[in-house]
Amino acid sequence: MDASIYLNGKPCSQILFKKEDEFESIIYQNAKLLFGSKTILISKKLIKTLSLGNTIPDGFLFNLSDANNPQFYLIEIELSHHRFYDHIFPQLTKFIAFFKSSESRKSLIDKLFEIVTQTPDLNNEFKRLLGGREIFKTITDGVENSQNVLLILDEIKQEIDETKKAYAEWAKLVRIEIASFYKCGKDNICLLTPPFERVDLESVGDNNDIVYDEHYHFESSNEEIKEAYSIIKDKMIKFAKDIRINPQHYYISLAHSKNFVYIKPKMSKMQIIVTLPYNYGKKTIKYHKISRLSDSIQDFYNTKCFRLTVEDTKNIDEVVDLLKTNYKKTIQE
């Protein structure tokens, strides 16, 4: 989409890329600006020997803004003039197939850990951001519980919408970012749509016509997580029969007049966005990990909220009690 960008009253000119390596280079140069100060982008140049489905991604990205819930992305950087079904589609489909193999994931975890520990700059950056947490455990948690393919384009491709409609795994795993760069005299402007910290909430090319259900979300979850969800769901419905279970693309919400809890199942954990103040959660939750959310993410949910992580069925009643309080607050608003 065309846009006019001005800086200090002067027009800026968009930087157009003819070669993919030029686009890839500027992404790497601005990685912390685009993805955030608590992210680590590992170049494919460090992992030449590792192929994922006979192809190598352009990078590996860890988002450690919440060290309790590391987010992991295979990065593919493409120019929009590349043919979608001849090049981009098969490339990303191989990555999706790779994620489905437990042996492949283990091989990736081992290789990433080896590279990080043998590369001083990466090793120091992980240690700085993790604050004493184990690097191997963090890499494992990210790869196992946050499987994402991040496709970065200079312009949107219309084929993405129809592909997400036709292939459920694309809709589940592929995230789209549009990166634009502008020259403004001696200054540069970078635009990333959507903002990276919200890419798991709103992705370019999403199709709202797809019907999502609980099976879609729990297909890859272990039995412990499925059981934890079942207990929470049954107890909440018994508590208030007017609660609706509302599966959407990125979450399953509990709803009354509006959504008030957002559940995001992973392979071996379940993240729950609770629409209560963080300080209340910190005061009442004793047995589960909770995390602050950025202002941008709270703006998305349009209320104060925090993230609670469930890893098993132990002490599940304190989670249910918290969600009951959340429900009572919602019906009073």
Q: Which domains occur in the chain, in start order?
A: 6-198 (no CATH), 214-332 (3.90.1150.30)
Mean pLDDT of all residues in 52-76: 89
Partners of residue 188 on adjacent β-strands: 183
Radius of gyration of the chain (CA): 21
| Positive or negative torsion for Cα 30, 34, 38, 43 | negative
Q: What gap in Å lies between CA 231 and CA 269, rounded to an integer?
A: 15
> What pLDDT is stored for residue 206 in this prediction?
52
The answer to whether residues 143 and 109 touch, using CB atoms and an 8 Å cutoff, is yes
pLDDT, tens digit, 9 for 90 and up, residues 88-100: 999 899 999 888 8
Residue 133 has pLDDT above 70, yes or no: yes
- Give pLDDT, residue 34: 95
- Sorted by sequence, the CB contacts under 8 Å of residue 280 that are 6+ apart come out as none
pLDDT score for 46:
81
pLDDT more than 70, % of the chain: 94
- Highest-scoring range by mean pLDDT, 2-16, 144-158, 209-223: 144-158
Which pLDDT band holds residue 54 (cuts at 50, 70, 90)?
Answer: low
Maximal C-alpha separation, the chain: 63
In this model, does residue 55 exceed pLDDT 60? yes
Of 156, 154, 155, 174, residue with least CA distance to 164 = 174
Q: What is the mean pLDDT of residues 44-53?
A: 69
pLDDT tens-digit map of 178-234 = 999 999 888 888 999 999 999 988 665 555 566 789 999 999 999 999 999 999 999
**Across all residues in the chain, what is the average pLDDT?**
91
**Residue that is written with structure tokens 């412990």 in the block:** 224
Q: Long-range contacts made by residues 33-38, C-beta under 8 angstroms, separation at least 24?
A: 33/190, 34/179, 34/190, 34/192, 34/196, 35/61, 35/63, 35/196, 36/63, 36/65, 36/196, 36/197, 38/63, 38/64, 38/65, 38/129
- Binned at pLDDT 50, 70 and 90, residue 51 comes out as low
- Specify whether the CB–CB gap between 41 and 31 falls below 8 A: yes
